[in-house]
Structure 1
Amino acid sequence: MSSSISGTSLRIASVNVNGVRAAFRNGMGAWLDKREVDILALQEVRAATSDLENLLGDEWDILHDAATAKGRAGVALASRNKASIHRVTLGADDFDSAGRWLEADYEVGGKVVTVVSTYVHSGEAGTPKQVEKYKFLDAMVERLPRLMEHNPLSVIVGDLNVGHRTLDIKNWKGNVKRAGFLPEERAYFDRFLGAEGDPDYNAGAGFGFVDIGRRTAGEVEGPYTWWSARGQAFDNNTGWRIDYQLATPELAAKVTDYTVDRAASYAERWSDHAPVVVDYSI
Protein backbone atom coordinates (compact mmCIF):
# COMPACT_ATOMS: atom_id res chain seq x y z
CA MET A 1 0.00 0.00 0.00
CA SER A 2 1.16 3.49 -0.82
CA SER A 3 1.82 5.90 2.04
CA SER A 4 -0.07 8.55 0.08
CA ILE A 5 -3.84 8.78 -0.05
CA SER A 6 -3.83 10.26 -3.52
CA GLY A 7 -4.39 6.80 -4.98
CA THR A 8 -7.31 4.44 -4.49
CA SER A 9 -5.96 2.35 -1.61
CA LEU A 10 -6.63 3.71 1.86
CA ARG A 11 -5.41 2.24 5.16
CA ILE A 12 -7.05 3.59 8.33
CA ALA A 13 -5.64 2.58 11.70
CA SER A 14 -7.31 3.42 14.99
CA VAL A 15 -6.02 2.90 18.51
CA ASN A 16 -6.57 4.11 22.06
CA VAL A 17 -2.96 4.90 22.95
CA ASN A 18 -3.60 5.35 26.69
CA GLY A 19 -1.29 8.38 26.62
CA VAL A 20 0.58 8.95 23.36
CA ARG A 21 3.88 9.85 25.00
CA ALA A 22 3.94 6.61 26.98
CA ALA A 23 2.91 4.65 23.88
CA PHE A 24 5.87 5.99 21.92
CA ARG A 25 8.24 5.27 24.80
CA ASN A 26 7.01 1.68 24.73
CA GLY A 27 7.32 1.03 21.01
CA MET A 28 4.47 2.64 19.09
CA GLY A 29 6.87 4.39 16.74
CA ALA A 30 8.35 1.10 15.51
CA TRP A 31 4.85 -0.25 14.82
CA LEU A 32 3.86 2.91 12.92
CA ASP A 33 7.06 2.95 10.85
CA LYS A 34 6.31 -0.44 9.32
CA ARG A 35 2.49 -0.33 9.10
CA GLU A 36 2.15 2.07 6.10
CA VAL A 37 -0.87 3.86 7.55
CA ASP A 38 -2.57 6.60 5.54
CA ILE A 39 -4.90 7.93 8.25
CA LEU A 40 -4.14 7.37 11.92
CA ALA A 41 -6.92 7.90 14.47
CA LEU A 42 -5.90 8.18 18.12
CA GLN A 43 -7.92 8.22 21.30
CA GLU A 44 -6.95 9.07 24.87
CA VAL A 45 -4.05 11.15 23.57
CA ARG A 46 -3.56 12.93 26.93
CA ALA A 47 -0.94 15.29 25.55
CA ALA A 48 -0.51 18.61 23.76
CA THR A 49 -0.61 19.13 20.00
CA SER A 50 3.09 19.96 20.13
CA ASP A 51 3.76 16.53 21.63
CA LEU A 52 1.96 14.87 18.72
CA GLU A 53 3.92 16.96 16.23
CA ASN A 54 7.22 16.04 17.84
CA LEU A 55 6.38 12.33 18.05
CA LEU A 56 4.87 11.87 14.59
CA GLY A 57 7.12 14.20 12.61
CA ASP A 58 6.66 16.58 9.69
CA GLU A 59 5.26 14.01 7.25
CA TRP A 60 1.92 13.93 9.06
CA ASP A 61 -0.86 16.51 8.98
CA ILE A 62 -2.29 16.51 12.51
CA LEU A 63 -5.73 17.44 13.83
CA HIS A 64 -6.11 17.28 17.60
CA ASP A 65 -9.02 17.99 19.90
CA ALA A 66 -7.92 18.05 23.52
CA ALA A 67 -10.21 17.50 26.49
CA THR A 68 -11.34 20.41 28.63
CA ALA A 69 -9.52 18.88 31.60
CA LYS A 70 -5.79 18.82 30.92
CA GLY A 71 -4.27 15.37 30.63
CA ARG A 72 -7.61 13.63 30.06
CA ALA A 73 -9.14 11.99 26.97
CA GLY A 74 -8.16 13.73 23.71
CA VAL A 75 -8.68 12.52 20.14
CA ALA A 76 -6.56 13.06 17.05
CA LEU A 77 -6.40 12.36 13.33
CA ALA A 78 -3.06 12.26 11.54
CA SER A 79 -2.91 11.88 7.77
CA ARG A 80 -0.50 11.93 4.86
CA ASN A 81 -2.67 14.53 3.10
CA LYS A 82 -4.27 17.58 4.65
CA ALA A 83 -7.95 17.36 5.57
CA SER A 84 -10.23 19.61 3.55
CA ILE A 85 -12.44 20.39 6.56
CA HIS A 86 -12.86 19.20 10.13
CA ARG A 87 -15.46 19.46 12.88
CA VAL A 88 -15.21 18.88 16.62
CA THR A 89 -18.62 19.62 18.12
CA LEU A 90 -21.14 16.97 19.09
CA GLY A 91 -24.48 17.29 20.82
CA ALA A 92 -26.15 20.31 22.38
CA ASP A 93 -24.31 23.57 22.95
CA ASP A 94 -24.14 22.95 26.70
CA PHE A 95 -22.68 19.45 26.26
CA ASP A 96 -18.90 19.17 26.67
CA SER A 97 -17.68 16.74 24.01
CA ALA A 98 -14.15 18.18 23.90
CA GLY A 99 -11.51 15.53 23.41
CA ARG A 100 -14.00 12.88 22.33
CA TRP A 101 -15.26 13.54 18.78
CA LEU A 102 -13.23 14.71 15.79
CA GLU A 103 -14.50 14.54 12.19
CA ALA A 104 -12.46 15.26 9.07
CA ASP A 105 -13.01 15.07 5.32
CA TYR A 106 -10.17 13.72 3.16
CA GLU A 107 -9.80 13.62 -0.61
CA VAL A 108 -8.97 10.07 -1.67
CA GLY A 109 -8.71 9.04 -5.29
CA GLY A 110 -10.93 11.89 -6.42
CA LYS A 111 -13.58 11.19 -3.78
CA VAL A 112 -14.14 12.47 -0.24
CA VAL A 113 -13.96 10.13 2.74
CA THR A 114 -15.13 11.33 6.16
CA VAL A 115 -13.33 9.86 9.16
CA VAL A 116 -14.37 10.31 12.79
CA SER A 117 -12.03 9.55 15.69
CA THR A 118 -14.09 9.13 18.84
CA TYR A 119 -13.57 8.17 22.46
CA VAL A 120 -16.78 7.27 24.27
CA HIS A 121 -16.78 7.62 28.05
CA SER A 122 -15.92 4.46 29.97
CA GLY A 123 -18.76 5.07 32.42
CA GLU A 124 -19.52 3.43 35.75
CA ALA A 125 -22.92 1.91 36.45
CA GLY A 126 -25.07 3.93 38.82
CA THR A 127 -22.79 6.98 38.92
CA PRO A 128 -22.64 10.42 37.23
CA LYS A 129 -19.98 8.98 34.91
CA GLN A 130 -22.63 6.73 33.41
CA VAL A 131 -24.98 9.66 32.96
CA GLU A 132 -22.29 11.43 30.92
CA LYS A 133 -21.78 8.29 28.85
CA TYR A 134 -25.47 8.15 28.00
CA LYS A 135 -25.42 11.84 27.06
CA PHE A 136 -22.60 11.13 24.64
CA LEU A 137 -24.36 8.10 23.16
CA ASP A 138 -27.53 10.20 22.80
CA ALA A 139 -25.50 12.77 20.88
CA MET A 140 -24.22 10.00 18.61
CA VAL A 141 -27.82 8.94 17.95
CA GLU A 142 -28.47 12.45 16.67
CA ARG A 143 -25.26 12.71 14.65
CA LEU A 144 -25.00 9.34 12.90
CA PRO A 145 -27.93 9.79 10.48
CA ARG A 146 -26.66 13.27 9.62
CA LEU A 147 -23.19 11.87 9.03
CA MET A 148 -24.65 9.34 6.60
CA GLU A 149 -26.41 12.21 4.81
CA HIS A 150 -23.26 14.34 4.82
CA ASN A 151 -21.19 11.71 3.07
CA PRO A 152 -22.03 8.14 2.00
CA LEU A 153 -18.30 7.36 2.39
CA SER A 154 -17.99 7.82 6.16
CA VAL A 155 -16.48 5.79 8.98
CA ILE A 156 -16.54 6.19 12.76
CA VAL A 157 -13.45 4.71 14.38
CA GLY A 158 -12.21 4.53 17.93
CA ASP A 159 -12.73 3.29 21.44
CA LEU A 160 -16.52 3.13 21.80
CA ASN A 161 -16.30 1.49 25.23
CA VAL A 162 -19.25 -0.87 24.62
CA GLY A 163 -19.20 -4.53 23.73
CA HIS A 164 -22.25 -4.86 21.52
CA ARG A 165 -22.79 -8.61 21.53
CA THR A 166 -21.95 -11.63 23.68
CA LEU A 167 -19.30 -12.50 21.11
CA ASP A 168 -17.51 -9.25 21.96
CA ILE A 169 -16.61 -10.08 25.57
CA LYS A 170 -14.97 -13.30 26.68
CA ASN A 171 -16.62 -13.43 30.12
CA TRP A 172 -19.85 -11.69 29.17
CA LYS A 173 -22.02 -13.42 31.78
CA GLY A 174 -20.04 -11.82 34.58
CA ASN A 175 -20.24 -8.34 33.06
CA VAL A 176 -23.94 -7.77 32.33
CA LYS A 177 -24.14 -5.32 35.24
CA ARG A 178 -20.89 -3.52 34.45
CA ALA A 179 -20.38 -0.44 32.31
CA GLY A 180 -19.35 -1.51 28.85
CA PHE A 181 -21.88 -4.34 28.61
CA LEU A 182 -25.01 -2.93 30.19
CA PRO A 183 -28.22 -3.75 28.27
CA GLU A 184 -28.98 -0.02 28.06
CA GLU A 185 -25.60 0.65 26.40
CA ARG A 186 -25.90 -2.25 23.98
CA ALA A 187 -29.32 -0.98 22.91
CA TYR A 188 -27.63 2.07 21.40
CA PHE A 189 -25.60 -0.23 19.16
CA ASP A 190 -28.81 -2.00 18.19
CA ARG A 191 -29.90 1.37 16.84
CA PHE A 192 -26.60 1.90 15.02
CA LEU A 193 -26.22 -1.58 13.53
CA GLY A 194 -29.31 -3.66 14.25
CA ALA A 195 -29.87 -6.09 17.09
CA GLU A 196 -28.35 -9.51 17.53
CA GLY A 197 -30.68 -11.97 15.81
CA ASP A 198 -32.16 -9.34 13.49
CA PRO A 199 -31.93 -10.75 9.93
CA ASP A 200 -30.71 -7.35 8.76
CA TYR A 201 -28.17 -6.92 11.56
CA ASN A 202 -25.02 -5.32 10.10
CA ALA A 203 -26.70 -5.20 6.71
CA GLY A 204 -29.00 -2.19 6.74
CA ALA A 205 -30.80 -2.50 10.08
CA GLY A 206 -30.87 0.40 12.53
CA PHE A 207 -29.15 3.46 11.13
CA GLY A 208 -27.50 1.22 8.53
CA PHE A 209 -23.89 1.43 9.71
CA VAL A 210 -21.71 -1.66 9.33
CA ASP A 211 -19.44 -3.06 12.03
CA ILE A 212 -16.43 -3.92 9.87
CA GLY A 213 -14.85 -6.12 12.53
CA ARG A 214 -17.89 -8.35 12.94
CA ARG A 215 -18.65 -8.50 9.23
CA THR A 216 -15.07 -9.56 8.50
CA ALA A 217 -14.51 -11.94 11.42
CA GLY A 218 -17.93 -13.56 11.27
CA GLU A 219 -19.79 -15.18 14.15
CA VAL A 220 -16.75 -15.91 16.32
CA GLU A 221 -15.55 -14.75 19.72
CA GLY A 222 -13.63 -11.50 19.40
CA PRO A 223 -11.29 -10.59 17.92
CA TYR A 224 -10.67 -8.68 21.13
CA THR A 225 -9.08 -5.23 21.19
CA TRP A 226 -8.67 -4.51 24.93
CA TRP A 227 -7.51 -6.57 27.87
CA SER A 228 -7.66 -5.78 31.57
CA ALA A 229 -4.39 -5.48 33.47
CA ARG A 230 -5.80 -7.82 36.10
CA GLY A 231 -4.56 -11.39 36.31
CA GLN A 232 -3.47 -12.99 33.05
CA ALA A 233 -6.18 -11.45 30.87
CA PHE A 234 -3.88 -10.70 27.95
CA ASP A 235 -2.00 -13.99 28.06
CA ASN A 236 -5.30 -15.90 28.26
CA ASN A 237 -6.92 -13.67 25.63
CA THR A 238 -9.73 -12.83 28.04
CA GLY A 239 -10.59 -9.59 26.33
CA TRP A 240 -13.24 -7.15 25.15
CA ARG A 241 -13.92 -5.95 21.62
CA ILE A 242 -14.67 -2.30 22.24
CA ASP A 243 -12.64 -0.64 19.47
CA TYR A 244 -14.47 -0.35 16.17
CA GLN A 245 -14.59 0.89 12.62
CA LEU A 246 -18.27 1.53 11.82
CA ALA A 247 -18.71 2.38 8.17
CA THR A 248 -21.54 3.48 5.94
CA PRO A 249 -22.68 0.68 3.61
CA GLU A 250 -21.03 2.23 0.56
CA LEU A 251 -17.67 2.46 2.31
CA ALA A 252 -18.05 -0.94 3.98
CA ALA A 253 -18.40 -2.50 0.54
CA LYS A 254 -14.89 -1.24 -0.25
CA VAL A 255 -13.13 -3.06 2.63
CA THR A 256 -10.33 -5.36 1.48
CA ASP A 257 -8.72 -6.25 4.82
CA TYR A 258 -9.37 -6.00 8.57
CA THR A 259 -6.74 -6.69 11.23
CA VAL A 260 -6.42 -6.32 14.99
CA ASP A 261 -2.70 -5.80 15.64
CA ARG A 262 -2.53 -7.75 18.89
CA ALA A 263 0.99 -7.70 20.33
CA ALA A 264 2.94 -10.95 20.26
CA SER A 265 3.37 -10.86 24.04
CA TYR A 266 2.36 -8.84 27.07
CA ALA A 267 5.86 -7.34 27.26
CA GLU A 268 5.64 -6.07 23.68
CA ARG A 269 2.41 -4.11 24.17
CA TRP A 270 2.60 -0.33 24.02
CA SER A 271 -1.04 0.24 25.00
CA ASP A 272 -3.74 -1.77 26.74
CA HIS A 273 -5.67 -1.55 23.45
CA ALA A 274 -4.63 -3.08 20.13
CA PRO A 275 -4.78 -1.09 16.88
CA VAL A 276 -7.66 -1.81 14.52
CA VAL A 277 -6.42 -1.54 10.93
CA VAL A 278 -8.71 -1.59 7.89
CA ASP A 279 -7.86 -1.30 4.20
CA TYR A 280 -10.35 0.30 1.82
CA SER A 281 -10.24 0.36 -1.98
CA ILE A 282 -11.73 3.74 -2.85
Structure 2
Amino acid sequence: MLRIATANINGIRAAHRRGFGHWLAERGCDVIALQEVRAQAEKIPADAFGDHHVALDTGTLPGRNGVAVLTREPPAAVRTWSGTALVGGPASGGPALAEVPASDHVPLTRGLGPFVDQGRYLEVDLADAPLTIASLYLPKGGLPAHLQRPERMREAPDGGARYARKMGFMAAFARHLTRTRRAAAAQGRQFLLMGDLNIAHTRQDLAAWRRNQNNDGFLPEEREWLGAQLSPRTLVDVVRRLHPQEDGPYSWWSWLGQSFAKDAGWRIDYHLATPRLARSALRAEVDREVRGVRLSDHAPVVVDYDLR
Protein backbone atom coordinates (compact mmCIF):
# COMPACT_ATOMS: atom_id res chain seq x y z
CA MET A 1 0.00 0.00 0.00
CA LEU A 2 1.11 3.55 -0.72
CA ARG A 3 -0.18 6.42 1.39
CA ILE A 4 -0.09 9.56 -0.73
CA ALA A 5 -1.04 13.11 0.27
CA THR A 6 -1.30 16.57 -1.17
CA ALA A 7 -1.14 19.73 0.93
CA ASN A 8 -1.04 23.44 0.24
CA ILE A 9 0.97 24.48 3.29
CA ASN A 10 0.77 28.25 2.70
CA GLY A 11 4.42 28.72 3.66
CA ILE A 12 6.72 25.97 4.95
CA ARG A 13 8.00 28.10 7.83
CA ALA A 14 4.51 28.91 9.11
CA ALA A 15 3.33 25.32 8.66
CA HIS A 16 6.45 24.07 10.43
CA ARG A 17 5.66 26.26 13.44
CA ARG A 18 2.08 24.94 13.50
CA GLY A 19 3.14 21.29 13.55
CA PHE A 20 3.79 20.14 10.00
CA GLY A 21 6.72 18.08 11.27
CA HIS A 22 4.44 16.25 13.74
CA TRP A 23 1.94 15.50 10.99
CA LEU A 24 4.70 14.28 8.69
CA ALA A 25 6.15 11.96 11.35
CA GLU A 26 2.82 10.59 12.57
CA ARG A 27 0.80 10.23 9.34
CA GLY A 28 3.11 7.73 7.65
CA CYS A 29 2.77 9.08 4.13
CA ASP A 30 5.03 7.57 1.48
CA VAL A 31 4.60 10.48 -0.94
CA ILE A 32 3.52 14.07 -0.29
CA ALA A 33 2.93 16.76 -2.89
CA LEU A 34 3.29 20.28 -1.50
CA GLN A 35 2.19 23.63 -2.87
CA GLU A 36 2.94 27.17 -1.73
CA VAL A 37 6.22 26.28 -0.05
CA ARG A 38 6.89 30.03 -0.24
CA ALA A 39 10.57 30.00 0.73
CA GLN A 40 13.91 29.90 -1.01
CA ALA A 41 16.22 27.04 -0.05
CA GLU A 42 18.24 28.97 2.53
CA LYS A 43 15.07 29.97 4.42
CA ILE A 44 13.62 26.45 4.77
CA PRO A 45 13.96 24.97 8.28
CA ALA A 46 16.61 22.26 8.37
CA ASP A 47 14.22 19.57 9.60
CA ALA A 48 11.21 20.71 7.57
CA PHE A 49 10.83 17.51 5.55
CA GLY A 50 11.65 14.93 8.21
CA ASP A 51 13.11 11.69 6.91
CA HIS A 52 11.81 12.15 3.38
CA HIS A 53 13.71 12.90 0.22
CA VAL A 54 12.58 16.14 -1.40
CA ALA A 55 12.43 17.49 -4.95
CA LEU A 56 11.55 21.17 -4.95
CA ASP A 57 11.03 24.03 -7.38
CA THR A 58 10.82 27.27 -5.39
CA GLY A 59 10.42 29.54 -8.40
CA THR A 60 11.93 33.00 -8.48
CA LEU A 61 9.13 35.05 -6.88
CA PRO A 62 10.18 35.78 -3.27
CA GLY A 63 7.66 34.52 -0.73
CA ARG A 64 5.28 33.10 -3.34
CA ASN A 65 4.40 29.76 -4.92
CA GLY A 66 6.86 26.85 -4.78
CA VAL A 67 6.01 23.16 -5.27
CA ALA A 68 7.63 19.99 -3.99
CA VAL A 69 7.27 16.21 -3.87
CA LEU A 70 8.51 14.28 -0.84
CA THR A 71 9.30 10.57 -1.18
CA ARG A 72 10.64 7.73 0.95
CA GLU A 73 13.23 6.75 -1.65
CA PRO A 74 15.19 9.07 -3.94
CA PRO A 75 13.05 9.60 -7.06
CA ALA A 76 14.14 7.91 -10.25
CA ALA A 77 13.64 11.16 -12.19
CA VAL A 78 12.68 14.77 -11.50
CA ARG A 79 11.19 17.11 -14.10
CA THR A 80 10.42 20.81 -13.91
CA TRP A 81 9.47 23.52 -16.38
CA SER A 82 12.48 25.61 -15.40
CA GLY A 83 14.94 22.79 -16.13
CA THR A 84 16.43 22.75 -12.61
CA ALA A 85 15.29 21.44 -9.25
CA LEU A 86 16.42 21.45 -5.65
CA VAL A 87 16.88 17.94 -4.31
CA GLY A 88 17.86 16.63 -0.91
CA GLY A 89 17.78 13.52 1.20
CA PRO A 90 17.54 12.77 4.90
CA ALA A 91 20.69 13.77 6.72
CA SER A 92 21.78 14.90 10.14
CA GLY A 93 19.93 18.15 10.69
CA GLY A 94 17.61 17.58 7.74
CA PRO A 95 17.92 17.46 3.96
CA ALA A 96 20.76 19.48 2.46
CA LEU A 97 19.22 20.95 -0.66
CA ALA A 98 21.32 21.22 -3.79
CA GLU A 99 20.31 22.63 -7.16
CA VAL A 100 20.66 20.09 -9.95
CA PRO A 101 19.53 19.89 -13.58
CA ALA A 102 16.17 18.23 -13.93
CA SER A 103 16.37 14.65 -15.14
CA ASP A 104 14.67 15.28 -18.46
CA HIS A 105 13.85 18.29 -20.56
CA VAL A 106 10.10 18.90 -20.46
CA PRO A 107 8.98 20.45 -23.75
CA LEU A 108 6.74 23.37 -22.88
CA THR A 109 3.35 23.49 -24.52
CA ARG A 110 2.32 26.77 -26.06
CA GLY A 111 1.23 29.29 -23.44
CA LEU A 112 3.25 28.00 -20.47
CA GLY A 113 6.30 30.18 -21.10
CA PRO A 114 5.27 33.01 -18.71
CA PHE A 115 4.92 30.50 -15.84
CA VAL A 116 8.23 28.66 -16.22
CA ASP A 117 10.02 30.37 -13.31
CA GLN A 118 7.05 30.69 -10.97
CA GLY A 119 7.41 27.38 -9.11
CA ARG A 120 4.02 26.00 -10.10
CA TYR A 121 4.74 22.48 -11.35
CA LEU A 122 7.09 19.59 -10.62
CA GLU A 123 6.88 15.89 -11.37
CA VAL A 124 8.85 12.84 -10.27
CA ASP A 125 9.03 9.19 -11.23
CA LEU A 126 8.99 7.00 -8.14
CA ALA A 127 11.87 4.58 -7.83
CA ASP A 128 9.88 1.97 -5.91
CA ALA A 129 6.62 1.94 -7.89
CA PRO A 130 5.63 2.37 -11.58
CA LEU A 131 4.12 5.77 -10.91
CA THR A 132 4.69 9.37 -11.98
CA ILE A 133 3.63 11.99 -9.42
CA ALA A 134 3.03 15.65 -10.25
CA SER A 135 2.47 18.61 -7.90
CA LEU A 136 0.58 21.60 -9.30
CA TYR A 137 -0.28 25.03 -7.94
CA LEU A 138 -2.76 26.49 -10.39
CA PRO A 139 -3.15 30.29 -10.37
CA LYS A 140 -5.98 31.62 -8.22
CA GLY A 141 -7.20 33.94 -10.91
CA GLY A 142 -9.89 36.60 -10.58
CA LEU A 143 -13.11 37.81 -12.12
CA PRO A 144 -13.67 38.74 -15.74
CA ALA A 145 -14.06 42.48 -16.24
CA HIS A 146 -17.84 42.41 -16.62
CA LEU A 147 -18.27 40.79 -13.18
CA GLN A 148 -15.96 43.12 -11.28
CA ARG A 149 -17.74 45.33 -8.75
CA PRO A 150 -15.31 47.48 -6.73
CA GLU A 151 -17.64 47.64 -3.72
CA ARG A 152 -17.66 43.83 -3.47
CA MET A 153 -13.95 43.18 -4.10
CA ARG A 154 -11.10 42.90 -1.61
CA GLU A 155 -8.58 43.58 -4.38
CA ALA A 156 -8.56 46.52 -6.74
CA PRO A 157 -10.30 45.89 -10.07
CA ASP A 158 -7.81 44.84 -12.73
CA GLY A 159 -9.94 44.79 -15.85
CA GLY A 160 -9.94 40.98 -15.89
CA ALA A 161 -6.15 40.53 -16.06
CA ARG A 162 -5.96 37.85 -13.36
CA TYR A 163 -8.90 36.04 -14.93
CA ALA A 164 -7.25 36.06 -18.35
CA ARG A 165 -3.99 34.82 -16.85
CA LYS A 166 -5.69 31.86 -15.20
CA MET A 167 -7.66 30.95 -18.30
CA GLY A 168 -4.51 31.11 -20.40
CA PHE A 169 -2.69 28.87 -17.94
CA MET A 170 -5.52 26.32 -17.94
CA ALA A 171 -5.67 26.15 -21.73
CA ALA A 172 -1.91 25.56 -21.94
CA PHE A 173 -1.82 23.16 -19.01
CA ALA A 174 -4.53 20.97 -20.51
CA ARG A 175 -2.21 20.32 -23.45
CA HIS A 176 0.70 19.65 -21.10
CA LEU A 177 -1.41 17.28 -19.00
CA THR A 178 -2.36 15.16 -21.99
CA ARG A 179 1.26 14.95 -23.11
CA THR A 180 2.55 14.03 -19.65
CA ARG A 181 -0.11 11.42 -19.01
CA ARG A 182 0.67 9.76 -22.34
CA ALA A 183 4.41 9.90 -21.69
CA ALA A 184 3.93 8.10 -18.37
CA ALA A 185 1.79 5.44 -20.05
CA ALA A 186 4.44 4.90 -22.70
CA GLN A 187 6.90 4.07 -19.92
CA GLY A 188 4.48 1.68 -18.23
CA ARG A 189 3.71 4.13 -15.41
CA GLN A 190 0.46 5.25 -13.87
CA PHE A 191 0.07 9.01 -13.45
CA LEU A 192 -1.18 11.05 -10.49
CA LEU A 193 -1.65 14.81 -10.57
CA MET A 194 -2.11 16.39 -7.15
CA GLY A 195 -2.39 19.91 -5.95
CA ASP A 196 -4.30 23.09 -5.36
CA LEU A 197 -6.33 23.65 -8.52
CA ASN A 198 -8.20 26.69 -7.14
CA ILE A 199 -11.43 25.37 -8.66
CA ALA A 200 -14.42 23.75 -6.99
CA HIS A 201 -15.78 21.42 -9.63
CA THR A 202 -19.42 20.82 -8.64
CA ARG A 203 -21.99 22.01 -6.13
CA GLN A 204 -20.81 19.23 -3.84
CA ASP A 205 -17.40 20.88 -3.69
CA LEU A 206 -18.25 24.04 -1.78
CA ALA A 207 -20.69 24.73 0.99
CA ALA A 208 -22.03 28.11 -0.18
CA TRP A 209 -22.31 27.33 -3.88
CA ARG A 210 -25.37 29.52 -4.49
CA ARG A 211 -23.69 32.78 -3.54
CA ASN A 212 -20.41 31.85 -5.24
CA GLN A 213 -21.70 31.19 -8.75
CA ASN A 214 -20.17 34.45 -9.98
CA ASN A 215 -16.96 34.21 -7.94
CA ASP A 216 -13.56 33.05 -9.13
CA GLY A 217 -12.96 29.41 -8.35
CA PHE A 218 -16.54 28.46 -9.20
CA LEU A 219 -17.10 30.21 -12.51
CA PRO A 220 -18.85 28.05 -15.13
CA GLU A 221 -15.86 28.17 -17.48
CA GLU A 222 -13.48 27.06 -14.72
CA ARG A 223 -15.71 24.16 -13.76
CA GLU A 224 -16.13 23.19 -17.42
CA TRP A 225 -12.34 23.15 -17.88
CA LEU A 226 -11.85 20.84 -14.90
CA GLY A 227 -14.60 18.55 -16.08
CA ALA A 228 -12.95 18.32 -19.49
CA GLN A 229 -9.79 16.90 -17.89
CA LEU A 230 -11.74 14.05 -16.30
CA SER A 231 -13.13 10.90 -17.84
CA PRO A 232 -13.16 7.16 -17.07
CA ARG A 233 -10.41 6.73 -19.72
CA THR A 234 -8.05 9.59 -18.85
CA LEU A 235 -8.07 10.99 -15.30
CA VAL A 236 -10.38 10.25 -12.38
CA ASP A 237 -11.14 12.46 -9.37
CA VAL A 238 -10.13 9.92 -6.73
CA VAL A 239 -11.72 11.56 -3.67
CA ARG A 240 -15.04 12.05 -5.44
CA ARG A 241 -14.93 8.42 -6.59
CA LEU A 242 -14.61 7.32 -2.97
CA HIS A 243 -17.15 9.88 -1.67
CA PRO A 244 -19.70 10.06 -4.50
CA GLN A 245 -22.66 11.40 -2.51
CA GLU A 246 -20.92 13.52 0.11
CA ASP A 247 -20.71 17.28 0.24
CA GLY A 248 -16.97 17.80 0.37
CA PRO A 249 -14.87 16.57 2.04
CA TYR A 250 -13.67 20.17 1.94
CA SER A 251 -9.97 21.01 1.97
CA TRP A 252 -9.92 24.84 2.25
CA TRP A 253 -11.58 27.20 4.69
CA SER A 254 -11.14 30.94 5.14
CA TRP A 255 -9.30 32.07 8.24
CA LEU A 256 -12.09 34.64 8.69
CA GLY A 257 -15.29 34.14 10.63
CA GLN A 258 -16.69 30.73 11.51
CA SER A 259 -16.22 28.97 8.18
CA PHE A 260 -13.86 26.35 9.61
CA ALA A 261 -15.96 25.68 12.71
CA LYS A 262 -19.08 25.36 10.55
CA ASP A 263 -17.25 23.35 7.86
CA ALA A 264 -18.28 25.92 5.26
CA GLY A 265 -15.35 25.18 2.99
CA TRP A 266 -14.26 24.48 -0.57
CA ARG A 267 -12.83 21.29 -2.08
CA ILE A 268 -10.07 22.62 -4.32
CA ASP A 269 -7.19 20.19 -3.53
CA TYR A 270 -7.28 17.10 -5.72
CA HIS A 271 -5.89 13.67 -6.52
CA LEU A 272 -6.46 13.13 -10.27
CA ALA A 273 -5.31 9.64 -11.23
CA THR A 274 -5.22 7.45 -14.30
CA PRO A 275 -8.09 4.93 -14.15
CA ARG A 276 -6.18 1.87 -12.98
CA LEU A 277 -4.57 3.82 -10.14
CA ALA A 278 -7.89 5.41 -9.20
CA ARG A 279 -9.47 1.96 -8.90
CA SER A 280 -6.77 0.95 -6.43
CA ALA A 281 -7.69 3.75 -3.99
CA LEU A 282 -9.00 2.31 -0.72
CA ARG A 283 -9.80 5.38 1.39
CA ALA A 284 -9.50 9.16 1.28
CA GLU A 285 -9.39 11.50 4.26
CA VAL A 286 -8.86 15.20 4.91
CA ASP A 287 -6.70 15.99 7.94
CA ARG A 288 -8.45 19.11 9.18
CA GLU A 289 -6.18 19.58 12.21
CA VAL A 290 -2.95 18.27 13.69
CA ARG A 291 -2.98 18.07 17.47
CA GLY A 292 -5.81 20.59 17.45
CA VAL A 293 -4.02 23.09 15.19
CA ARG A 294 -4.64 23.98 11.54
CA LEU A 295 -1.49 23.66 9.46
CA SER A 296 -2.73 26.11 6.85
CA ASP A 297 -5.95 27.51 5.40
CA HIS A 298 -5.85 24.24 3.43
CA ALA A 299 -5.76 20.73 4.92
CA PRO A 300 -3.84 17.68 3.67
CA VAL A 301 -5.83 15.29 1.48
CA VAL A 302 -4.60 11.74 2.13
CA VAL A 303 -5.40 8.68 0.00
CA ASP A 304 -4.33 5.07 0.48
CA TYR A 305 -3.62 3.20 -2.76
CA ASP A 306 -3.20 -0.58 -3.07
CA LEU A 307 -0.95 -1.06 -6.09
CA ARG A 308 -0.79 -4.83 -5.92
Instruction: Give the TM-score, by structure 1 length.
Output: 0.87
Structure-2 separation of matches of 1:273 and 1:119: 13
Q: Which residue number in structure 2 is paired with residue 189 of structure 1?
A: 226
Establish whether residue 49 from structure 1 lines up as the match of residue 41 from structure 2. Answer: yes
Determine which structure has more spread, i.e. the larger CA radius of gyration.
2
Establish whether residue 245 from structure 1 lines up as the match of residue 266 from structure 2. Answer: no
Structure-2 separation of matches of 1:105 and 1:264: 29
Match runs of 1:7-22 below 5 Å: 9-22=1-14
Establish whether residue 270 from structure 1 lines up as the match of residue 295 from structure 2. Answer: yes
Match runs of 1:30-49 below 5 Å: 30-49=22-41
Q: Which residue number in structure 2 is paired with residue 95 of structure 1?
A: 114
Structure-2 separation of matches of 1:105 and 1:62: 13
Q: Which residue number in structure 2 is paired with residue 203 of structure 1?
A: 232
Question: Which moved further from structure 2: 229-238 or 121-130?
Answer: 121-130
1:219 Cα shift? 1.9
Q: Which residue number in structure 1 is paired with residue 87 of structure 2?
A: none
2:124 to 104, 108, 115: 104
Structure-1 separation of matches of 2:4 and 2:44: 18
Secondary structure of the structure 2 residue equivalent to 1:41: strand
1:75 Cα shift? 0.4
Establish whether residue 226 from structure 1 lines up as the match of residue 263 from structure 2. Answer: no
Establish whether residue 166 from structure 1 lines up as the match of residue 199 from structure 2. Answer: no
Establish whether residue 216 from structure 1 lines up as the match of residue 235 from structure 2. Answer: no
2:56 to 43, 64, 68: 64
C-alpha contact 2:287 2:302 (8 A) present in aligned 1: yes
Structure-1 separation of matches of 2:127 and 2:267: 30
* Aligned residues with identical type, % of pairs: 40
Deviations 1:138-164 (A, max 9, x none): 122102222221224110001000000
Distance 1:238 1:120, change over 3 A: same
Q: Which residue number in structure 2 is paired with residue 150 of structure 1?
A: 183
Deviations 1:156-176 (A, max 9, x none): 001000000011011111111
Structure-2 separation of matches of 1:222 and 1:170: 8
1:52 Cα shift? 4.3
1:27 Cα shift? 1.2
1:177 Cα shift? 1.0
1:67 Cα shift? 2.3
* Number of aligned residue pairs: 260
The one-letter code sitting in structure 2 at the alignment partner of 1:262 is R
Structure-2 separation of matches of 1:77 and 1:49: 15
Question: Which moved further from structure 2: 26-35 or 124-133?
Answer: 124-133
Deviations 1:167-192 (A, max 9, x none): 10111111111110001111111211
C-alpha contact 1:73 1:100 (8 A) present in aligned 2: yes
Distance 1:53 1:40, change over 3 A: farther
* Structure 2 unaligned regions, length at least 5: 82-107, 145-159
1:57 Cα shift? 5.2
